Amino acid sequence: MTRNLSVNARRLTYHPDARLDFFKSLTVAEQSTAFQELSAHVQQVILRQLHNEEVVDMLDSMDMWQVEHVLSRITNVKRRQEIVYRLKSEIKDKVDYFLKFHPQATLSLINFNYLFLPASDTIGEAADIIDEHYEETGKYPEILVHEKGRLLGEVPFATLVREKNSFSLKRFVIPLTTISYQAEVSEIVKLTSGSRSKKVVMLDHDESVLGIIYADELKPLLAQLPAESLYDFAGVAGSEGVGDGVLSKVKHRYKWLIINLGTAFLAAAVVSLFRDTLDKLVLLAIYMPIIAGMGGNTATQTLAVMVRGIAVGEVKLKNSLKPILNEVGSGFVNGIINGVLVAIVATFWNQNPMLGLVLGVAMVCNLVIAGFFGAFVPLVMKELGKDPATSATIFITTATDVFGFFVFLSLATLILI
């Protein structure tokens, strides 16, 4: 197989006296690109003249298959082992940094079975390299295409089979979703949930490729993350820290607290409608926090599941009927379980079976309400462009309090008075 040499590769080949100085003047991406075009002899000459750190830097921007070929040019076994150790350590540190988002994420999540080919290569040249790769690994690789060491995208296998061998890869490049290995967890979640791509390419700080992550393998791990931090659920800015001053903390929180105050008055207004009932049955006030607390806890559990599903792209408002019905059903069953328990306690504690009945039915109704609003509200907030984790909590709590108190006090009025 013959390939046209780039300007850099020709200069490195035909100007041996200035070879090393010129090679070191190139960027790392340009070094790795030009190096792969050189003959085995020229490669060996350059490798002998470079320090181990310089070799590691160059190899770090190549794919694993290319690295193996370069390492085979190093005849000194001890030096080759040292370079391999440094290279693996560097790559492993970066991959470990990326995988910090979940304790169950392992190196197997990152796929290294790819070829990093120049955009100028033809389909015929790529096919020869793929055949060689398959003979060595037994696997067909992903085809990533670069220009001067910078990733352009991928060329699907179907294109290689369908198009003429004389066409260059650059004509058929499809852009890929990329992410830095230093990306924050929130960025990973946003990118994988918002992208239609089935794969995401992880890039080094110099934009060289570190590996490929398949979205279907990443999403289950992201689904096991806490839906949002406690900051989000409390209406606190994620940037707020324990060392922030008083005014800074007030600035982050006061708007949410004012909204929450307004919704609390709404719940109080519902309770005031049943003032006569409470005057006659003061005992009901003892059980109101139980009704409110159980509804709030159920809604929070539902919210956590829904925000998680929204984050990884599993659920949207348009396909939400089944998830909402599942949460409502869960609320109903849990309502029966907890309703029976609270009914038994109230019956024996207050010697009033009818009070137990009211509490039991109210518990079932409130947990069904909590399941519905806990599932429905975050989907609506997301559809409106709001963060469902920070915006949904207040409205869900209001719904469970308002409807929960209304059902409980209405039943008490009808049955006990």
pLDDT tens figures, 42-53: 888 999 999 988
> What CATH number is associated with residue 64?
1.10.220
| Domain identity same for 314 and 407 | yes
Q: Looking at 166, 186, 217, which one is the last position of a domain? A: 217
Position 347 scores a pLDDT of 92
Indicate the number of domains in the chain: 3
Residue 1 resides in a domain: no
Residue 235: pLDDT band by 50, 70, 90 thresholds?
A: very low
**Structure confidence at residue 278 (pLDDT):** 83
- Residue 329 scores a pLDDT above 90: yes
Whether the per-residue pLDDT at 224 is higher than 70: the answer is no
Do 61 and 148 lie in a common domain?
no
Residue 102 has pLDDT above 90, yes or no: no
Final residue belonging to a domain, choices 49, 68, 92: 92
Is 178 found in the same domain as 56? no
Query: Does residue 267 share a domain with residue 404?
Result: yes
For residues 274 and 396, membership in a common domain is answered with: yes
Please tell me the predicted confidence (pLDDT) of residue 230. Answer: 38
Answer yes or no: is 19 within a domain.
Answer: yes
pLDDT digit string, tens, across residues 369-387: 999 999 998 888 878 776 6
Which of 30-39, 48-57, 96-105, 351-360 comes out lowest in average pLDDT? Answer: 96-105
List the CATH number of the domain containing 337: 1.10.357.20
pLDDT digits (tens, 9 = 90+) for 116-173: 888 888 999 889 888 888 887 788 888 999 887 788 999 988 888 888 989 999 999 9
pLDDT band at 232 (very low <50, low <70, confident <90, very high): very low
* Claim to verify: residue 75 and residue 158 sit in the same structural domain: no
Residue 393 belongs to some domain of the structure: yes
Choose between 93 and 279: higher pLDDT.
Answer: 279
pLDDT band at 363 (very low <50, low <70, confident <90, very high): very high
Residue 102 placed within a domain: no
Q: What is the mean pLDDT of residues 89-99?
A: 64
Note whether 11 and 125 are same-domain residues: no
Are residues 287 and 166 part of one domain?
no
| Res. 364: pLDDT tops 90 | yes
Residue 98, in any domain of the structure: no
* In the chain, % of residues over pLDDT 70: 80
Q: Is 101 among the domain residues? A: no
The domain of 237 spans: 230-416
Q: Write the secondary structure of the chain as one string of H (helix), E (strand) and C (coil).
A: CCCCCCHHHHHHHHCHHHHHHHHHHCCHHHHHHHHCCCCHHHHHHHHHHCCHHHHHHHHCCCCHHHHHHHHCCCCCHHHHHHHHHHHHHHHHHHHHHHHHHCCCCCHHHEECCEEEEECCCEHHHHHHHHHHHHHHHCCCCEEEEEECCEEEEECCHHHHHHCCCCCEHHHHCECCEEEECCCCHHHHHHHHHHCCCCEEEEECCCCCEEEEEEHHHHHHHHHCCCCCCHHHHHCCCCCCCCCCCHHHHHHHHHHHHHHHHHHHHHHHHHHHCCHHHHHHCCCHHHHHHHHHHHHHHHHHHHHHHHHHHHHCCCCCHHHCHHHHHHHHHHHHHHHHHHHHHHHHHHHHHHCCHHHHHHHHHHHHHHHHHHHHHHHHHHHHHHHCCCCHHHHHHHHHHHHHHHHHHHHHHHHHHHHHC
Report residue 233's pLDDT band, with 50, 70 and 90 as the boundaries: very low
The segment with the largest mean pLDDT, out of 27-31, 74-78, 302-306, 366-370, is 366-370
Mean pLDDT of the chain: 80
Residue 99 lies in a domain: no
**Same domain assignment for residues 300 and 404:** yes
Give me the mean pLDDT over the 61-84 stretch: 78
Question: Across residues 46-69, what is the average pLDDT?
Answer: 81
Residue 318 shares a structural domain with residue 373: yes
Q: Each residue of 185-216: pLDDT tens digit?
A: 666 666 666 556 678 888 877 677 878 888 77
**CATH assignment at residue 121:** 3.10.580.10
Question: 2: pLDDT confidence band, cut at 50, 70 and 90?
Answer: very low
Q: Are residues 118 and 190 in the same domain?
A: yes
Q: Which of 217, 248, 263 is the last residue of a domain?
A: 217
Is 171 domain-assigned?
A: yes
Q: Are residues 187 and 294 in the same domain?
A: no
